[in-house]
Structure 1
Amino acid sequence: MAKVVVAEDGTPLWRFADADGVWRYSVSLDQVSPYYLEALLTYEDRWFYSHPGINPLSIGRAVWQNLTNQRVISGGSTLSMQVARLIEPHNKTLLGKMRQVFRTLQLEWHYSKDQILTIYINRAPYGGTLQGIGAASWAYLDKPPSELTRAEAALLAVLPQAPSRLRPDRYPDRAQEARDKVLDRLEEFGVWSHERVSDIKQETVWLAERQAPQLAPLLARRLLAESSSDVIHTTIDAALQRRLEDMVMGWKSQLPPSTSMGILVVEHSTMAVKAYIGSADLNDKSRFGHVDMITAWRSPGSTLKPFAYGMALDDGLIHAESLLQDVPRQFGDYRPGNFDTGFSGPVSASDALVRSLNLPAVQVLEAYGPKRFTGNMRNAGIVLRFPLNSDPNLSLILGGTGMRMDQLVSGYSAFVRQGKVAALRYRPEDPLIERQLISRGAAWIVRRTLAGEARPVPDNQISDITPLAWKTGTSYGYRDAWTIGMNGGYLIGIWVGRPDGTPVAGQFGYATAVPILHQINHLLINRNSQTIQNWPKDPRPPTVSRAVICWPQGQSLPAGDPNCRQRRQAWILDGTIPPTLPSIGQDTGIGGWLNLWVNEQGKRVASDCHGAISKRLALWPIALETWLPLSERRASRLPERDETCPPIGYDTSPPLLILGLKEGAILKKLPGTQSLDLRLDTQGGRGKRWWFINGETLMETEADQPMVKTLTLSGRYQISVLDESGQVSSVSFILD
C-alpha cells in the first residue's frame, strides 16, 4: 500500500510507494478546492450525480463523434466507469467493456456518489508514479489541493486523460492547450463567466521539475511500521524541519569525516515533536546516514547530572548552595576525574552543576544511591541500560550507562513541566502521558541554575520566561558530544559523533554541540515574536524561598557568628536548610562541629579548668584542607593552648609529621609487579592516628604503629593523617 507521511499542516514529508512504485496522498472531498470539483465534473461527467453509473446519452454522443470524425474524440465513460477501470483494468474489447459496465453497476450499488468520486480523485493517474489529486497538487504545485486556484484546478482536472502526454513539468504547451479546453467547457455551460475564463487563459503553464517529498526520512521510516493508515499525520513543523535540514547540510561540511548528527526540537507545552533529524545526511553512506541516532543507544556523558541534583534537593540532602567537595577521591576501583583534569576544592552545588564538575556529582549520587536514581528514572519512562549482570553504579552520572536521545530529551521535560516527565508526541493522536520525577520546586531551581540564574533575586527581578538553559555532555573518549537546551517554548536536543562509536579527538559538548544549540535557539526565537509572548510563564513556586547560609556548615547562623566563615545566598526548598553533605567514608570527627573549652583569653583549656567556657568550632571537611587559605585550615582555626591548664591530650603535642615519603615524590612499581606496598610512619603528634587517602578514610593506627597500604592503580595520591590533638599532616605523590 502506498503511504505518505505528512507534517502538521498536511505538507508531505516522505512517501512510500506501493509494490508498483506508485505513491499517492489520499484526501477527502472537503480537502479539495471546489474549483477543482467544478472543473472535473463539468468536463468529465456533468450528470454524475444523476445517472446510475452509465450515461446512455454520453455514450451515444461519443459514438457519433468518433464515427463522424473517424477518430476517437471522446470516450463516453462516466466517472463511475473510470473508477471501475482504475480498480480493475480491462482489455479494450467488447468483453472488457461489458465487464467494466458490470463493475460500474456494482460500485453504484454498494457506494454513494461521494464515495465513488473520492475514489476517483485519489486513484486518477497524473503522470509517472503519481496517483490522485493530493499527490499531483503537492508534486506539481507544492501546495495542498484545497488551495488550488481556478487555473490550477482546470489544469489538474484534465491531466488524467493523458497523464504522460500532458505532464506540465515536461510539456507545458500541451498542458496549457488541454487546460484551455476545460476552461472553454466551463464557460460554455455557464459555470465560470467569460471574463473570468479570459483572465485565466492569460496565465501560462510552467512548472519546475517535479520534486518528491524528502523531509524527516528517518522519522517517516520509524512511523511507517506503527501505522496502518495510508496518510500518516505527524506533529512536525514542515518549515522548521526544512530549515534545520538545510542548516545541517551546512554544518556537515564542518564535521570530521564519518561524523553524524541528531537533532530533536520539541514544543514542551504539548510535547509535540516539531523537528526530527536522525542523521546528518540520509544519502551519505560514509557518515552512516541510514542510522537513526535519535533512537540509538549512546553514553549520555554528563547530561544526567541535573536529575541527580534535582532528586537530592527533594530528598533534603542539599540546597542550591550546599558545600560540595571537588577533590580527588577513589570509590573502590573507580577513580573519576574532571574534564579539565584539575580540582577546585570547595564548590557550591549550583556552581558544580553549571561547571559540570564530576566529583561533586559523584558525591551527590553516592549519597542518594545509584540504584535508587536508576529506579526513579525508569519509573518516569527513562531507561538506563547497563552491561549484562551489572548493577547501576556511581559511574552512570558521568556517562557510564546507555540511553536513547528521545528518552533523554523527554526526561528534560521535567525541568520545564513542573517536575513531570512527559513522553514525546509524534502524531496528533498521541496522548500526553506524563509522570512525576521531581518536585516543581526542585525542577525550577535546577532549570534556573542551568540558565545562569542560580543567585537568588527578588521576584520582580526574575524573568517571566526562562532564558535558554542548557547542559552539555561528553562521553568517554570523545565518542559523544551532547547538549540539551530548554527555552521558554522548546526542548532542543543535539548529539554529534560517529555512529560506529569511534572516538573523535577534540570533539566535546561545549565546543561541538553548543554552537548548534545557540543557532537553533535564535531561529526559534526569531521565527515569530508573537509566539514567544504566548510561551508559558515561569514564576517562582511557593515551595522555593531564599535563605542566607554559611559555609562550612551550610546552614543559617546569626549575623556576626565567627563560625560563619563564608556567607552565601541560596534557593532552598520547602523551607529546609540541610547541613553540609559529608562524603561517605569520611570520619565525622574530621569535619563539622568540634566541641572544646576555652578560658577568658580564648585559649584552649581542659573542661575542668577555672573559668572554662564551652565553645563550638565549625571545621571544614578535611579533604578540602589543601584548597583552603591558610587562615581557614584546621591548624589556624584551633585556638592556642593554655600551657597552665592544657586540654587533655593536647598538652605536650609536638608537630605531626609523615615519615617515609617526600612531597611530590614519584613512585614506581618494581619490574614484573602490578602493585606497590606503601609503608609510612609518623613523628610527633598525640594519641591515635586516622589515615585518609584522597579524602577517604583508610585506617586507624596507634601512635607507634605504621600505616601500610597496597596500591595497584597508577595516578596521583594524597595521604593525610589526623591525630587526637587535631593536627593534620599531608603528603602528595604520584604512582607511575
Structure 2
Amino acid sequence: MILFGLDWLCPLPPAPRYSPIVLAADGTVLHAFLNPTQKWRMKTELAEITPALQQAIINKEDRYFRYHFGVNPVAILQAAGRNIFKKGRTTGASTITMQVARLLEPKERTFGNKLLEMLRATQLEAHYSKAEILQLYLNLVPYGGNIEGVKSAALLYFQQPPDYLSLAQTVTLAIIPNQPRVLVLGNNNDRILAERNRWLRQFRQQHLFPNQDIEDAINEPLDAQRHAAPTLAPHLARRLVTQFPNQPIIHSTLRRNPQAKAEDLTKNYVRRLRELGISQAAVLVVNNHTRAVEAYAGSADFQDAAGSGQVDGVRAIRSPGSTLKPFLYALAVDRGIVTPKLKLPDVPTNFNGFRPENFDKSCAGEVTVERALTYSLNIPAVRVLAEVGVPVFTDKLRAAGFKSVAKAAPRLGLSTILGGCGATLEELTGLYAALADGGRYAPLTLALNEELGMRNEELKRKSPSASSGPKARAQNSSFLIPHSSLISPAAAFLITDILAQRTRPDLPMGYQNSRHLPKIAWKTGTSYGRRDAWSIGYNQDYTIGVWVGNFSGQGSPALTGADVASPLLFDLFNTLAYNSPNRWAVPPATLDFRLVCAETGLVPGEHCPNQLIDYYLPGTSTARHCEHQKERLISADGTISYCRACMPAAGFRRQLFPNPLPEVLAFREAQGLPSSRLPPHNPACQLVRGTDGSAGAALAITSPLDHAEYVLDRHDKQQMLLSCAAGSEVRQVFWYVNDRFLRAAAATERVFFRPPSGTVKISCADDHGRNVDIQLQVAEL
C-alpha cells in the first residue's frame, strides 16, 4: 500500500512530446514537423525496433536489461568499487531504465539525483513492459543538436526509417548517444567509423551477429550527412496535424511516388505559365475503387510567398464554372427529361430576368444533349436546370458533400449551373469519382484511423488473401466506406460516354492526333472573368482534378480550362496512370437502344424519314413522339390553309410544314435563316380558331419580362419593346395594354410603345385564338 501511495503522490513524468509525422500509405515518412520544443523527436514504433537494433543497444548499454527491475545491484557495486578505489573508468552504473528516467526528467548529476533516478526506474518498470521502456529510450536518446531519438537520426542522416538500416548503420546509431557532442555525423565521420568498427569487432567476439554480416558491416563506408526533414505534401500534412492534434504518427492515404511526381509536374508546369499572369495550380488524385486520395498538391510551390503558396487550393472555395454540367445532365437522364440525341433549343432566352450567354456569344438554334455537353453550352444547360429544378440539383450536391452549396442553397438560382455557387477542388473531384464509379458517391479518404484499421482486421479474417498494414488499409478502404447512389449507373455511363469523345472544342491545341492523349473522360470549366480554370478527368481507376489560377482572384485572358488546365491533367494521367489496364465502362443492363428522329431526338412520329439510334432508359426516358413536321391542308395556290371544318371538297392539297418551338422559329427568322410559316387560315371559316385539333405551340411574350420593375425617365422619350414567340402557323398577333387594344402586328414584328406608370398588364393574342398575359411595374423619375 505504501508503494501504491508513493506512486500516486509522485506520478511518472508526462510522455515525451513527439514531432508530428505524416506517413504515406506504405509507411514511409512524407512530412515531419518539429515538436513544440523545436526538436526533431519522431516517435519510433515498436515494429521499427529491429532485432539487430535491440541487440546492439542492449549489449552496449545494459547487458542485463531483460533481467533486472530497473536497477542492476551488481553493476552498482562494481561501479562503486571502481569509483572509490580509482581503478578503471569512472561509471554511474546506469541501466537503460535509469537513463530513460534521466531523459524524462533531466537533472544535475548528484548522488541524491542518482537515488531519485533509481526510484523512478523502479516505478517505470512497474508501469511499462521491457519493450516499451526500450522504445522510450530509443525515442529520447540524443544525437546532437536538436535531434533526439533513433528514428529522427535514421531519417535525417540516412534518409531511411530504423527498420530499413543496414547493420553498419544500426551500430553507428547505437554508439553515438554516449558522446553526441563528440561523435557528430557529417563532421566526425572518420572517428565515428573507427568507433563503429571497434564495436562491430567486439560484437563478433560475443557472437552477437553472423561473422559474414559483421565483416560486410566493417567494410561498409560511412558517408552520412545531415539532410532536411521530409517535406512532401505540405498542405495535407498541416491539415492532418490540425485534424489529429494529439497523434504523433498520422497514416495518410497518399502514395509517395505519385505525390512526388504530382508536385514536380505542377511546379514545373506553373513555372511556364507565369509570363501569362498565372501563378498557381492545385491537383488532387483519387483512387476510384477506394476513394483514397493518392496525391494532394495544394499549390504549385508551398514556399512561394509572392504567389500565396501556403494557401491550400484543394480546399479553397472557387467558382466551378461549367464543371457541374455533367452531373446536371445525368440527373436529367434519370428523370427521363433527356437522352443523348435529344435536341434542345440553343437560342437567346430570358429565364425570368436571367439571360445566359454561351461562352462564344453565339447560338446554334438547336443542339443535341451530347453536343451541348461536349461544347459546354450555357443556354441549354440553364434550360435543363429549369426543368430539373434548382432545389433538386442543390439537394444532390449537398448529398455529395458540397458544403458551400448547402449553406447558400436557399439563395441559389439558375446561374448555379454556370458557376454561380462556390465549390472546392476536393468536392468536384469527389463528384467526378462518383461518375467513374457508376454514380455511387463516397467521401474521399485522407487518413486511416483506428476504426478503419480494426474493420480491416475483420475483413482480413473473412478474406485470407487480404493483407495488413497501412497500405492494405488504403487498398481495402472501399469495402468500409458507405456509398450512396447519386445517379443511376445508366446515367453515369451515358455521361461518361459523352465526356470521352475527343472531337470537341475544349481539346487543347496540338492534342488532336497526339499519342499523349490518355483514354479518359474529362470536363473543363472556366469561371466568370477567367479567374479559375478547371479540368477534371477519370478512367476506371483514377479521378484527377486540376485547378489553375491565382489565389488573389486575379483573372488572365489565357485562363481557360481547355488551354491551361487540361494539358496538366493529361500530363498527370500519362505520368501517374500510364500503366492502368486498358479497360473502359460498359453499358449497364438498364440501358437499351431505340430509333429516334434525327431532327429532334424524339420517338419517330408519322413524318420522320431520317432516324438514328439512341440510348434510353426503358420506362423512364420520355416517350413523346416527334412532331417536327405537321401535315396541313392548303389551297392549291398555297395562299390559305384549311382546318377540317372548312376543308373544301376539292382544290386543296396536303403539305408538310415545319413545327419548331416558337423561340427556335423566332431565332431562325431573326438570323435570316430559311423558315416556313403556315399560310393564313381560311378567312371564311366561322369556327373559333384553335379548335381544329392542331393548335400548335404555345404563345409566349419575350419582352417585357413578367413581374419585372422598369424605371423610365419622364423627360426622355423612352419606349418599351413588345415581342413574342409564336408557332409557325401564326401570322398575326394582337397587343393589348391594360385590356385596351394597342395594335396588330406580324408574329415576328417588334412593337414599341410608351407604357403608363404603375401596374401595367400586357396581353398578346394570336390569330389562332391563343392569348397570354403578363404584369409589370413601371415608374417614372
Q: TM-score range by the shorter chain?
A: 0.7 to 0.9
Q: 2:586 aligns with which of 516, 539, 546?
A: 539
Partners of 2:561 and 2:625 lie apart in 1 by: 29
- CA gap 1:136/1:702 in 2 versus in 1, 3 angstroms: same
* Deviation, structure 1 residue 390: 5.8
Other-structure match for 1:587: none
Give 1:401-550 correspondences, 5 Å limit. Answer: 401-429=421-449, 432-452=481-501, 467-526=519-578, 529=579, 532-533=580-581, 538-550=585-597
Residues 701 and 580 from structure 1, CA distance in 2 versus in 1: closer, same or farther, beyond 3 angstroms? farther
Asked if 1:677 is matched to 2:720, the reply is yes
3-state SS in 2 of match to 1:703: strand
Give the conservation status (yes or no) of the 8 Å contact 1:154–1:179: yes
Please state if 1:246 is matched with 2:278.
no
Q: Is the contact made by 1:689 and 1:700 (CA closer than 8 Å) also made in structure 2?
A: no
CA contact (8 A) 1:260 1:289 kept: yes
In the alignment, structure 1 residue 610 sits paired with structure 2 residue 646: no
1:399 CA drift (Å): 0.3
SS in 1 for 2:273: coil
AA aligned to 2:492 is A
Structure 1: distance between partners of 2:78 and 2:203: 19
- 1:333 pairs with 2:369: no
**For the structure 1 residues 686 and 345, does the alpha-carbon distance in structure 2 shift closer, same or farther, using more than 3 Å as the test?**
closer
Q: C-alpha separation between the residues in 1 aligned to 2:608 and 2:680? A: 17
- Per-residue deviation, 1:53: 1.7
Cα distance in 2, alignment partners of residues 361 and 581 from structure 1: 23
Which range moves more in the overlay, 217-226 or 250-259? Answer: 250-259
Corresponding residue of 2:209? 192
Say which SS state the counterpart of residue 36 (structure 1) adopts.
helix
SS in 2 for 1:472: strand
- Work out whether residues 280 and 287 of structure 1, in 8 Å CA contact, stay in contact via their aligned partners in 2: no
Give the deviation of 1:309 after TM superposition.
0.1
Shift of residue 622 of structure 1? 3.1
* Change beyond 3 A, Cα 1:306–1:69: farther
Q: CA deviation at 1:506?
A: 2.2
How well do the aligned residues superpose, as a CA RMSD in angstroms? 3.9
Q: 1:335 to 1:686 in 2, by over 3 A?
A: closer
Shift in Å, 1:51: 1.7
Counting only pairs closer than 5 Å after superposition, residues 25-104 of structure 1 correspond to structure 2 as 25-62=42-79, 72=89, 75-104=92-121
Shift of 1:536: 7.3
Q: Which residue of 2 aligns with 1:624?
A: 664
Q: 1:235 aligns with which of 253, 267, 272?
A: 253
Give the secondary structure class of the aligned counterpart of 1:596: strand
Match of 1:123 in 2: 140
TM-score, length basis structure 1: 0.81
**What's the counterpart of residue 596 of structure 1?**
632
Partner residue of 2:676? 635
Note the C-alpha offset of 1:159: 2.1
Q: 1:277 to 1:341 in 2, by over 3 A?
A: same
- Corresponding residue for residue 402 of structure 2: 382
Partner of 1:569: 613
- The structural deviation recorded for 1:556 is 2.7
Identical aligned residues as a percent: 32
CA contact (8 A) 2:335 2:621 kept: no
In structure 1, list runs of 5 or more residues that go unmatched: 456-465, 583-590, 651-668, 692-698, 712-719, 727-736
249 and 63 in structure 1: CA distance in 2 versus 1, 3 angstrom threshold: farther
Corresponding letter in the other structure for 2:317: W
Contact 1:470 1:486 (C-alpha < 8 Å) held by counterparts: yes
Which residue does the alignment assign to 1:209? 226
Give the letter aligned to residue 413 of structure 2. Answer: N
Letter in 2 for 1:270: T
Give the residue type in structure 2 aligned to 1:444. Answer: F
1:177 to 1:322, Cα distance in 2 relative to 1, 3 A: same
Relative to the length of structure 2, the TM-score reads 0.77
* Alpha-carbon shift at residue 409 of structure 1 (Å): 1.3
Residue 299 of structure 1: CA displacement?
A: 0.6
Change in Cα spacing, 1:109 to 1:486, as seen in structure 2 (3 Å) is same
Deviations 1:686-731 (A, max 9, x none): 874189xxxxxxx9986369844789xxxxxxxx9975599xxxxx
Cα pair distance change 1:601/1:723, threshold 3 Å: closer
412-421 vs 430-439, which moves further: 430-439
- Residues 337-391 of structure 1 show CA distances to partners (whole Å, capped at 9, x for unaligned) of 1111222221110111011111111111011111221112213322343897962
Verify the 8 A CA contact 2:21 2:29 in the aligned structure 1: yes
- Kindly indicate whether the alpha-carbon contact (under 8 Å) linking 1:350 and 1:454 is maintained by their aligned counterparts in 2: no
Deviation string 1:186-242 (CA, Å, 9 cap, x unpaired) is 112111244432332111111243221101111111111221321011001111111
Question: What whole-Å deviation, never above 9, does each CA across 1:640-683 have from its counterpart, x for those lacking one?
Answer: 99999999989xxxxxxxxxxxxxxxxxx99996965337899x
Distance in 2 (CA, whole Å) between partners of 1:675 and 1:521 is 58
Cα 1:11/1:250, change in 2 over 3 Å: same
Matches within 5 A, 1:134-283: 134-227=151-244, 228-256=246-274, 257=277, 259-283=279-303
Cα deviation digits, residues 99-155 of structure 1 (max 9, x gap): 111111111122221121121122222233222222222222222222221111111
The alpha-carbon deviation at position 574 of structure 1 amounts to: 3.0
On the 8 A contact 2:430/2:441 being kept in 1, the answer is yes
Give per-residue Cα distances to partners, 1:7-31, cap 9 Å, x unaligned: 1112222223222112333233322
Closer, same or farther in 2 for the Cα pair 1:11/1:627, shift >3 Å? farther
Q: Distance in 2 between matches of 1:237 and 1:690?
A: 70
Deviates more, 1:236-245 or 1:126-135: 126-135
Distance verdict in 2 for CA 1:386–1:192, change over 3 Å: closer
Post-superposition offset of 1:623: 2.8
Paired AA for residue 619 in structure 1 = N
User: Using a 3 Å threshold, how does the CA distance of structure 1 residues 405 and 631 change in structure 2: closer, same or farther?
Assistant: closer
- Shift in alpha-carbon separation, 1:538–1:674, aligned structure 2, 3 A: farther
CA distance, structure 1, for counterparts of residue 597 and residue 281 of structure 2: 45
1:33 counterpart letter in structure 2: T
Asked whether the equivalents of residues 10 and 144 of structure 1 are also in contact (C-alpha less than 8 Å), the reply is no
Q: In the TM superposition, what whole-angstrom CA distance separates every residue of 1:271-295 from its partner, at most 9, and x where no partner exists?
A: 0011111112222111111211211
Is the contact made by 1:7 and 1:236 (CA closer than 8 Å) also made in structure 2?
yes
The total of aligned residue pairs comes to 664
Residue type at the aligned position of 2:169: E
When residues 387 and 118 of structure 1 are mapped into structure 2, their CA distance, relative to the original with a 3 A threshold, is: closer
What secondary structure is seen at the aligned counterpart in 2 of 1:130? coil
Q: Partner amino acid for 2:316?
A: A
AA in 2 matched with 1:545? D
- The separation in 2 between residues aligned to 1:19 and 1:125, in whole angstroms, is 17
Whether contact under 8 Å (2:430, 2:443) holds in the other structure is yes
CA contact (8 A) 2:720 2:752 kept: yes
Does structure 2 retain, via aligned residues, the 8 Å contact 1:159–1:166?
A: yes
| Cross-structure match for 1:658 | none
Q: Which moved further from structure 2: 641-650 or 235-244? A: 641-650
Question: 1:163 Cα deviation (Å)?
Answer: 2.6
